[in-house]
Structure 1
C-alpha cells in the first residue's frame, strides 16, 4: 500500500483519531421490510431432530472446542426452509427461563444484515437455537483459508459496511452487546452477501465469559472487568478491520505498533496489490485505530462507522456473488443426467435411473432388524417389498404405493430407496404432497443422498414452489458432485 508520511501522520494523530465523523446518509441504512421470515417459533427436539436427520454428523457445519462447547448443524424444516441449528452442551444454559427470555428477545430482530434467529428449543437439558442457514461459509474461511481466490478489496469494504450496518440496527433495537465478534461470526448468504450471525447476540451463561478467542484480541476493559460493553464491540470491530486489511488475524497490539512505526506494508495483504489507493488504505487504518483506542469512550459508535464506510465503497453495482466468485443459482451448476431430469421434471427418466440404481444407495443407511426377521411376519414384509419392486419396474405405480406402504408401516427395516421409489410413484400418481414427504423422509435416513434432494425438487416443482425447488435442485447437485469427487 505504501502510505506517504504526511498521510500516515494524519492517519495516526490523536486529533484525527478522536475527531467527529460525518453523519451517515439515512437512506443508505434504512431497515428493509421485505424480509420473508416467519415470526419467532419454539420448536420441539423431535422437530429439530427430523430437520437435521437425527443431528447427523454429515450435517455439522461448525463445532467448537472446550471454551465454547456447541455444534451447529444444517437442516431443513417441513416447509423446506433451510436452517442452522446451534446445539449447546447441557451446562451452557442451566436456567431455562433465562435461555428462553434471551432467545425471544433476539428473535424479535429482523434485518437483511443479520442471519436472523427463527426460533429455539428448550426441552429438558436441551438448549437449541434455530437461525437462517447461510450456505457460503464464514469470513474466516474466505479471508484466511481461501481455496480459489483471495477476497477482493471491494468485497472487503462491503463486508465492513454490512457489519457496521448490522451493529447499528442492533444498537437501535437496544441489543448493542455482541459477544466475541470475530471473523467466524460473519457468514455469507445465497447471494454472497455478508451477514452477522445472530448467535453472538445471545449471552452465554455457561461461565459468565463472553470471549472464547485468544485474550490478545479481547478489549482491554474486558480483561479488567470481565464485562462486555457497546464500546467493547467497537474494539472487536477494529480487529475485524485489521483482518480485512491484512488477510491475517493480527493481534491489535502488534498492528498498532506497525501503524505507529509507519510500517503499513507489513499490515497489508499482498494479494490486494493495485486494488486500492493510498487514501483508501489510510482511511481503513484510521477507522481501525479509532476502534482500538485504549479508552472505550474514545471509540466511535456504529452510526459513525457506517457514515465513514459508505463513501469508501467500490464496484457497488457488482453483485456480491460475482465479487466472491460464488456460483449463483441452480443453473450455474453443471447438472448430471439425473439433475437435468429433475429440472425438467422428466419423471420417466428419473424412473429409469432409480430402477437401474437398485438398492445400492441403501448401503450405510440405518437399518433396523428385529427378531421378527425369522418369523412369517418378516417374510410377508419382505414379500411386500418384492411385490412393490415388481410393480415399480412395470410402472404400476398405484400397486407400488400399496406394497411399499405395507413394507414401511411394519417398520422392521428402514430403506431410503423404498421411500424414494414410493415418492416417485406418488409423483406419477399426481400426489405431490405425499411425494415430498417421502423424499424428505429419504433424506432424514440418508442425509447426503442426492436422489432425495432431486425428488424434493421435482415434488416442489409439481406443487408450484419454484424457488424452493431451485434450492433443492442445487443441494442435490452439490451432494452428487461431492459423491462423484470422493469416488
Structure 2
C-alpha cells in the first residue's frame, strides 16, 4: 500500500485536504470491506480507525488485514484508546459484531470533521444542533447540506450506546451507497496522485504458479532449492565474522531447523526457527519465509501471514514474501487479497528478471 493511511490525508495533510468525493468513497469502501468480512464469517474487525485504512497504488482505499489478526476471545486487545472504545467493551471487557458498527461511526465522524473527535463530544454537538461546527471547514462548498446531515445522522446511529440500536453491516452499506456519485472520477485524481501506468504482468515464476494452484508440495520443493541465496548481499544475511560459542549455537539451530524443514517435520521446524529468530541480531527473510510455510502446513494461517509480512519487511521486494502472503490469505478465505498478493509477487518477479537481463 504505497500511498499511506487515511490518517495522513485527514489529520496530517501538507498540500490540500482530502476532497468530499474521496471521503464518501472511503466510507463506502470500508462498509463494503466489512460486509465482505461479515460474509466470510469474520464478523469482528479490531481497532477500526483511520490508521487501518490504506491507499493502494491507484489511490483506492483498502482495509488493512491487521484488524482480522487479533484474537477477540481474550477481550483485551480491541482498542488502544478508551475514548473511542465501544461501550460494551468497557462494561463487559468483550466485543460483539455491533462493536464494529460503533467503530465505523467514529471513522465516519473523522471523515466528516477532518479531526479525531471523541464520540461523546460529537454527539453533544449533534444534540446541540451545532452540526456545522462538526464539519471540516476545508470542505465548504463541496457538499450539499442534506447529504452532510444524512451522513452525520448515520454516524450518530452507529454510536448508540445500546448495540441493538446501531443497525448492522448491510444497513451501513445500504445507507452509504447513495452517496457514491463520483465513480467516474479516478481515485488517483481525487487524491492528487500520478496515474499508475505499470501493468501487472501475467507470467508467473515456478513459485508463483505453485502458489496460484495451492500446490504446497511444489512450494516446499522450491523453497528448499532456493535456500538462502535470495538474501546474498543483504545486511541481514546469515553470515558471521566472529566464531563465538553463541554464533556456533545459532548456526546449529539454523542447521536443525533446515533439516526439520527438509524432512517436512514442520512442528520441529517452527520450534528451531523460533529459537533462531530470538537468537539472531538481525532478522532473516528466509527464516521468516520458511517458518511461515511451516505454520501453513501446521494449520496456523494467521501466524503464517504474520511471518510472511515480516519476511517482506526484511526484503521489501522479495517475491517469495508476497507469494507466501497470498497462500496464507487464501487459507483464511480472503481470496481477493490473496490474488492481489499474487499479482504483487509477479510484478517483483518480473522486475527482478528485467534487472538481471539488463
On whether the aligned pair clears a TM of 0.5, the verdict is yes
How much does 1:371 deviate?
Answer: 8.6
How much does 1:323 deviate?
Answer: 0.6
Question: Does 2:28 match 1:156?
Answer: no
Question: Does 2:130 match 1:251?
Answer: no
Q: Distance in 2 between matches of 1:168 and 1:277?
A: 27
The residue correspondences of 1:175-194 to structure 2 (distance < 5 A) are 175-194=42-61
Q: 1:468 aligns with which of 325, 342, 347?
A: 347
How much does 1:188 deviate?
Answer: 1.1
Q: 1:196 aligns with which of 50, 59, 63?
A: 63
Q: 1:275 aligns with which of 142, 145, 161?
A: 142
Q: 2:36 aligns with which of 157, 169, 176?
A: 169
What is aligned with 1:240? 107
Q: Distance in 1 between matches of 2:39 and 2:85?
A: 24
Unaligned runs of 5+ in 2: 199-232, 244-311, 319-343
Structure with greater helix percent: 2
The structure with the larger Rg is 1
What is aligned with 2:11? 144
Unaligned runs of 5+ in 1: 1-133, 332-361, 373-443, 453-464, 477-487
User: What secondary structure sits across from 1:174 in the alignment?
Assistant: coil
Is residue 330–residue 471 contact of structure 1 (8 Å, CA) maintained in 2?
Answer: no
Superimposed CA distance per residue, residues 199-220 of structure 1 (whole angstroms, 9 cap, x where no aligned partner): 1112347964133331010111
Go from structure 1 to structure 2 and tell me whether the alpha carbon gap of 1:226 and 1:144 turns closer, same or farther (over 3 Å shift). same
Superimposed CA distance per residue, residues 159-213 of structure 1 (whole angstroms, 9 cap, x where no aligned partner): 0111111111111221111111111111111211111111111234796413333
Superimposed CA distance per residue, residues 80-129 of structure 1 (whole angstroms, 9 cap, x where no aligned partner): xxxxxxxxxxxxxxxxxxxxxxxxxxxxxxxxxxxxxxxxxxxxxxxxxx
Q: Distance in 2 between matches of 1:298 and 1:206?
A: 24
What is aligned with 1:299? 166
Is residue 217–residue 251 contact of structure 1 (8 Å, CA) maintained in 2?
Answer: yes
The residue correspondences of 1:214-233 to structure 2 (distance < 5 A) are 214-233=81-100
How much does 1:470 deviate?
Answer: 11
Q: 1:322 aligns with which of 189, 192, 198?
A: 189
Is residue 104–residue 158 contact of structure 2 (8 Å, CA) maintained in 1?
Answer: yes
Q: Distance in 2 between matches of 1:266 and 1:292?
A: 19
User: What secondary structure sits across from 2:195 in the alignment?
Assistant: coil
Q: Which runs of 4+ in 1 moved over 6 A?
A: 364-369
User: What secondary structure sits across from 2:143 in the alignment?
Assistant: coil
Is residue 10–residue 115 contact of structure 2 (8 Å, CA) maintained in 1?
Answer: yes
Go from structure 1 to structure 2 and tell me whether the alpha carbon gap of 1:296 and 1:317 turns closer, same or farther (over 3 Å shift). same
User: What secondary structure sits across from 1:183 in the alignment?
Assistant: coil
Q: Distance in 2 between matches of 1:165 and 1:371?
A: 54
Structure with greater strand percent: 1
User: What secondary structure sits across from 2:63 in the alignment?
Assistant: strand
Is residue 179–residue 228 contact of structure 1 (8 Å, CA) maintained in 2?
Answer: no
What is aligned with 1:213? 80
The number of residues matched between the two structures is: 228
Normalised TM-score (structure 2): 0.56
User: What secondary structure sits across from 1:184 in the alignment?
Assistant: coil
Is residue 238–residue 288 contact of structure 1 (8 Å, CA) maintained in 2?
Answer: yes
Superimposed CA distance per residue, residues 43-64 of structure 1 (whole angstroms, 9 cap, x where no aligned partner): xxxxxxxxxxxxxxxxxxxxxx
Is residue 20–residue 142 contact of structure 2 (8 Å, CA) maintained in 1?
Answer: yes
How much does 1:221 deviate?
Answer: 1.1
User: What secondary structure sits across from 1:137 in the alignment?
Assistant: coil
- Computed over aligned residues only, the root mean square deviation of the Cα atoms, in angstroms, reads 3.5
